[in-house]
Structure 1
Amino acid sequence: MPAQSHAAKLLHLAARQPAVSARELSAAGIPARTVSRMAARGQVRRVGRGLYTGAEGSPSAHQSAIEVTRQAPKAVVCLLSALEIHGIGAQAPFEVWIALPAGTHAPKGTQAALRVTRLSGAAFTEGVETVVLDGAPVRVYSLAKTITDCFKLRSKVGLDVALEALREARQQRKVTSDDLSRYAKVNRMTNVMRPYLEAMTG
C-alpha cells in the first residue's frame, strides 16, 4: 500500500475514536514508521504509550480513563473516577482512579495521573461493567459496588464523599437496597453501612 494510503487510513482511524493503539494500527497494516513520521509532523498526537489521536480532535472528557484502560486491560475504573462516569457527586478528579489485582504493576508511560488501589478476590472481580465512553469500551465498577468501595476506602476518598454518593444515588433511584447490601457484604462493609442505609430508608 502506498505511503499516502497508509497516512489516510491512519487519519481515518484516529478520527473515528478518542484514541487508537499502535497494536490496532499494526493490525490495520499501517507501518510503525508511518505512525512515527505523522506524529513528528503533528498530523496525529501521541496521547500515551502506544496511543494516538487525531491532531485536530478535541480531547474526550473521558480521554484519560480510556487511555489508562487501554494501557492496562486488567484495570477497572473505581472510586471517584467511577462516580464521575456514573454521573454521581460533584467530584471531578484530575487523577484516574483504577483498581488492579494484587501484585499487578501499574501502567507506565501514560500521560494521565493515576491513583491505584489494589484489590483481591471478590472485592476486585465483583461488580465489573463495561461501558462505552465516546466509542471506546472501558471497564468500570457498577454504581452500587463503587459506593460500597467508597465506604471501604473512606480513608482515601473521605466519608463525606461516600455519604453524598449514597444519598444522591438513592434519591435518583440509580441503586437498589439489594445491590448495596450485596456489595457491602463483598466488601465486608455491612455493619459500617447499615446505620446509614436504615436512616435513609426509615
Structure 2
Amino acid sequence: MSTRVLALAGLVQALAQVRRVADTGQANAAILNTAMDSVFRIDSPSPSAVYGGVEALRPGLTLLRDYFGTTQRDEQLPRLVLAVMQLERRFVRDSAMAQRVQAGIRSQSDNAERHGSSHPDVMSALGSLYAETLSHLRPRVLVQGNPHYLGQATVVAEVRAILLAAVRSAVLWRQCGGSLWDFLLRRRALLEAVKDHLG
C-alpha cells in the first residue's frame, strides 16, 4: 500500500492541476514539472523515482489525506480520478494505441531534456498526442472550468498534456497493484499509508 499510494498521490496531484488550469489558466510551476517529468520517466526503478522523490508528492498526499479523512470534499476531484482510472483500463487494452502514445512521448524526450518537460512546445505536442489518441476512448474525461480559459488553444493543450500525466500515474497505480475498488473501499488503509508518508 505504501508505494501504491504514491502513484495515487501523483494521479490526484495531476488532476488538481488540471482543475486549476481549467479554472484560472495558470498551473503551479513546481507541481506541473513533477507531473510532466513523470511522463518521461518510463523505466524508473521505483514509484517515488517516477516523481523525483516523495517530497514532490506532498501536495497530492495532502489532498488524499483530506479526502480520505473527510476533512474536505471536492466532489469534482474523485469523479475525475474514477474517470481516469476507467480510461486507463481501456487504454492498456488497446496495444496499438499504447505503442503510439509511447512513441509520441519518446519523440519528445530530447525536447523535454533540452527545454524542460513543461516547456510550451513539449506541452503542445503532448496535448496533441492526447487529443489524437486517448481522447477517442470512452469514458471521456470531462473537465469543467472557466469558459474563458477553456476557449484558449494553449490552455486546452496544457489540460490535455496534464491529463496524459494523470493517465501515466493511473498506469503506475495499477502496476503497483492498485484498483478502482481500492480507491472506493480501502480508504482506511490508504489513509494510513498517506499519513506514514506525510510523517
TM-score, length basis structure 1? 0.28
Structure with the largest fraction of strand: 1
| Bigger-Rg structure (1/2) | 1
Q: State the TM-score, normalizing by the size of structure 2.
A: 0.28
Q: RCO higher in 1 or 2 (8 Å CA, sep ≥ 6)?
A: 2
Choose between structure 1 and 2: higher helix proportion. 2
